Amino acid sequence: MSVIVDLLLMLIHLSYSILHAVIQTFLRPRLKCIEGELCLITGAGGALGRLFAQEFAKEGAHLVLWDCNTAANEQTAKVVRELGVQVHTYTVDLSKRQNIYETADRVRAEVGEVSFLVNNAGVVAGRRLLDCPDELLERTLLVNCHALFWMTKAFLPQMKAKNHGHIVTIASALGLFSTACVEDYCASKFGAVGFHESLTHELLAEDMDGIKTTLVCPYIVDTGMFAGCEIRKELRSLIPPLEPLYTVQQSMKAILAEQQMICIPRLMYIAFLTRALLPWEANVATYRFMGGDKCMLPFIKNVELKTSNGHIKS
């Protein structure tokens, strides 16, 4: 009897969730106020990190900015201080676990308890697997995936103590479906998606309903990280690289609406579903038609040229 009751409750909850999602798609969701919250953003010196910092500053949040590039991080701080918010900067190497833990201790002692954690930092090796030094492969996995574990272990306990907080994972569409020649990046982003989803389930199982999570999975963003990446030329106008500001603004809407997941653009939901529903051979045929199987080759060539000229891409 209890199984039947649980099944009915599940069906009711399922129907409500679908209806709620449909309504949110067409109606403007209610956005929460984050004024005065302490927000930590990793990769704050990069294009997306700087834009996230600006958007959170506009909402009145106080900022803690982490990046391995001190100069770029300070430039972001300079930009957002003009918006009248408190900003604290830290130079951190996210590939080093101890560096994360030690800097987290400094943040708690010098600034306070972080209530918003935006895991934005990301890197890619830009080499074919057999041509890529092990150190670069490891760095991608450490920064894009392993660091999520250490960041969460560093800041989640304080969120749990108050049952209040928000963890944002900036993953990628390449964490939902893969493409050729960027094995390190795809593996790290699949790991990021899996980690984020499992963490969300854990918080729900523990009734930590005051701690929200948002997973962001954008298509390629025009930040220069994947410069040269191209799909079939006839389709490029249909799925162009995303503008950084548009990507961040769409992400912010999802974060402030406490949306659990967002794919940018919405067309990526279709690609995610077809990967799950179609046979492997059908997905391969689709990739080849779109040029997705070779889209990273121009990007890798660009990286090789930069490396040969003494400019190694980070």
Q: Which residues are catalytic?
A: 185
- Neighbouring C-beta atoms of residue 300, cutoff 10 Å: 20
Q: By the 8 A CB rule, do 118 and 52 touch?
A: yes
The H or E element containing residue 162 is helix 147-162
The residues, any chain, with a CB within 8 Å of residue 231's CB and separated by 6 or more, are 239, 290, 291, 292, 295
Pairing of the two strands 116-119 and 165-170: parallel
- What is the distance in angstroms between the CA of the first residue and the CA of the last residue of the chain? 58
Nearest to 142 by CA among 188, 99, 177, 92: 188
Q: Which two tokens stand for residue 25?
A: 């798609």
Exposure string for 264-297, b = 16+ CB within 10 A, e = fewer: beeebeebbeebeeeeeeebeeebeebbbbebbb
Q: By the 8 A CB rule, do 189 and 175 touch?
A: yes
Q: How far apart are CA 195 and CA 156, in angstroms?
A: 14
251: helix, coil or strand? helix
Nearest to 312 by CA among 63, 125, 182: 125
Helices 183-205 & 134-141 angle (0-180, nearest 10): 30
Nearest to 271 by CA among 248, 258, 289: 289
Q: Which two tokens stand for residue 68?
A: 């391995």
